[in-house]
């Protein structure tokens, strides 16, 4: 796979080369002022991930996990790198206890954000010559994009907002970049936030969970309909983010929970690798453990608990509902990878072997077969109420995964709970889906859960 970028000074073209979805990449560069068109190898072997932050002349700064599983910042001077890029490598910001999430330019300095228990914090500012460093004020729940002097942040309860950042990182609202809340949905969201309807909690077990419920007086008696979401793969970190759809679920009186699982990137590359290939079962164990945690502390019960996830998260839901059908009342696998023996044969599926392993490898085949949702359905078993969602033009995870799983599940299922498949037409894996289709799918999802889990509206919807 190939991707390119041009340095901000316009002088250099950088070419990244990666194998499948593995984070390790090669780096080549071309001096655009050189008419010869020569392309030069900078990092010619797969040693780690290297993402350009900025350059100044021939000095390039990269965010990398090379010899630093939780990430660090290095500088490479291409003017004196010679035959080995390591010869000019200098460590600018060393690996920390937390996972380095991002590095951005802040004026003429670098501002770093770290993941601490799956929430983003500003950690450090240093100048590009790395002669001076200082700690920065912490801003919890920071997420989004950093401009030169503007910081965006949000969370489960708060719309993404932009603030102007002063030199000491004190934040002032940036009124030039305000979100338009003129729509009915926007007014609804704004009203709920102004009334402080939500309470956000973070808890820890082997992995960490964010638990959000809409009423400060939530009764922990096991009766609360709960939607537990997870992903757990490809070094993707699941951090707090605002969702109008999730807000509707909470407005209906539901509890929304997110589990941070091994296989993600929340705690660095070691955390990611602990949920890949022969270790993939760890991801499912973490998710099942998060469900049991919610039940043990009486946030909910098995009769009131639903699980959901999409793509790799759809695999997560499929594996957990087939391994522990007794633990959940409802399951919502979306555009899921559900046939783990044939996934490399279709579209981009071959690229996922870096996380899943290959069915052509004997040991990895055994691991895949052991949890493949399609191959672990057992006839005569009462499975949770299930609504599988896919789209007829999904060219990422082909809909055949969902088609086969739905047919096999309906054939094996012995209970009275409904087993449905929802097939969107003229749509794909999700990116670029029209707003109308997004709303329709969310409406069907919550209607299905209200029907299965049962709940009287605690707050009438008024606009």
Active site residues: 311, 429
In the Cβ-directed half-sphere of 140, how many Cα atoms lie within 13 Å? 6
Per the structure block, which two tokens stand in for 253? 């009186």
Report the relative pairing of strands 226-229 and 305-310 from DSSP bridges.
Answer: parallel
Shortest CA distance to 269 belongs to which of 355, 332, 183? 355
| HEC secondary structure over the chain | CEEEEECCCCCEEEEEEECCCCCCEEEEEEECCCCCCCCEEEECCCCCCEEEEEEECCEEEEEECCCCCCCEEEEEECCCCCCCHHHHEEEEECCCCCEEEEEEEECCEEEEEEEECCEEEEEEEEECCCCCEEECCCCCCCCCCECCCEEEEEECCEEEEEEEECCCCCEEECCCCCCCCCCHHHHHHHHHHHCCCCEEEEEECCCEEEEEECCCCCCCCCCCCEEEECCCCCCCCCCCCCCHHHHHHHHCCCEEEEECCCCCCCCCHHHHHCCCHHHCHHHHHHHHHHHHHHHHCCCCCHHHEEEEEECHHHHHHHHHHHHCCCCCCEEEEECCCCCCCCHHHCHHHHHHHHHHCCCCCHHHHHHHHHHCHHHHCCCCECCCEEEEEEECCCCCCCCHHHHHHHHHHHHHECCCCCEEEEEECCCCCCCCCCHHHHHHHHHHHHHHHHHHHCCCCCCCCCC
Distance CA 145, CA 193 (A): 22
């Amino acid at each position: 796979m190939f991707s390119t970028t041009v340095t901000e000074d316009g002088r250099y073209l950088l070419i990244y080369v990666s194998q499948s979805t593995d984070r390790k990449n090669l780096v080549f560069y071309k001096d655009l002022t050189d008419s010869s068109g020569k392309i030069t190898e900078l990092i010619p072997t797969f040693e780690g991930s290297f993402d350009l932050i900025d350059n100044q002349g021939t000095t390039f700064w990269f965010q990398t996990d090379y010899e630093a599983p939780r990430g660090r910042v290095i500088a490479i001077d291409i003017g004196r790198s010679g035959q080995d890029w390591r010869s000019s490598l200098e460590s600018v910001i060393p690996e920390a206890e937390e996972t380095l999430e991002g590095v951005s330019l802040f004026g003429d300095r670098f501002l770093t954000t770290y993941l601490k228990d799956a929430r983003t914090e500003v950690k450090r500012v240093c100048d590009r010559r790395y002669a001076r460093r200082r700690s920065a004020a912490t801003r919890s729940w920071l997420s989004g994009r950093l401009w030169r002097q503007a910081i965006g942040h949000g969370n489960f309860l708060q719309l993404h907002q932009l603030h102007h950042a002063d030199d000491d990182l004190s934040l002032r609202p940036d009124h030039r970049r305000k979100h338009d809340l003129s729509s009915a949905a926007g007014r609804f969201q704004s009203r709920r936030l102004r009334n402080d309807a939500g309470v956000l909690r973070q808890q820890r077990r082997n992995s960490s969970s964010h638990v959000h419920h809409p009423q400060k007086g939530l009764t922990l008696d096991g009766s609360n309909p709960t939607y537990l979401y997870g992903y757990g793969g490809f070094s993707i970190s699941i951090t707090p983010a605002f969702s109008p759809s999730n807000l509707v679920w909470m407005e209906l009186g539901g509890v929304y929970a997110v589990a941070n699982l091994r296989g993600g990137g929340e705690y660095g590359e070691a955390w990611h690798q602990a949920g890949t290939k022969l270790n993939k079962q760890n991801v499912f164990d973490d998710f099942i453990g998060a469900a049991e945690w919610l039940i043990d502390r009486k946030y909910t019960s098995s009769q009131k608990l639903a699980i959901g996830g999409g793509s790799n998260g759809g695999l997560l839901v499929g594996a957990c509902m087939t391994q522990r059908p007794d633990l959940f009342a409802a399951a919502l696998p979306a555009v899921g990878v559900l046939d783990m023996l044939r996934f490399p044969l279709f579209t981009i599926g071959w690229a996922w072997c870096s996380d899943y392993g290959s069915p052509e490898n004997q040991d990895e085949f055994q691991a895949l077969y052991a949890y493949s949702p399609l191959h672990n359905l057992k006839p005569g078993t009462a499975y949770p109420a299930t609504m599988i969602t896919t789209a007829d033009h999904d060219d990422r995870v082909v809909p055949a995964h969902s088609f086969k799983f739905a047919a096999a599940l309906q054939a094996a299922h012995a209970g009275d709970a409904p087993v449905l498949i929802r097939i969107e037409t003229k749509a794909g894996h999700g990116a670029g889906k029209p707003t109308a289709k997004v709303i329709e799918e969310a409406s069907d999802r919550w209607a299905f859960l209200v029907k299965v889990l049962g709940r009287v509206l605690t707050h009438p919807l008024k606009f």
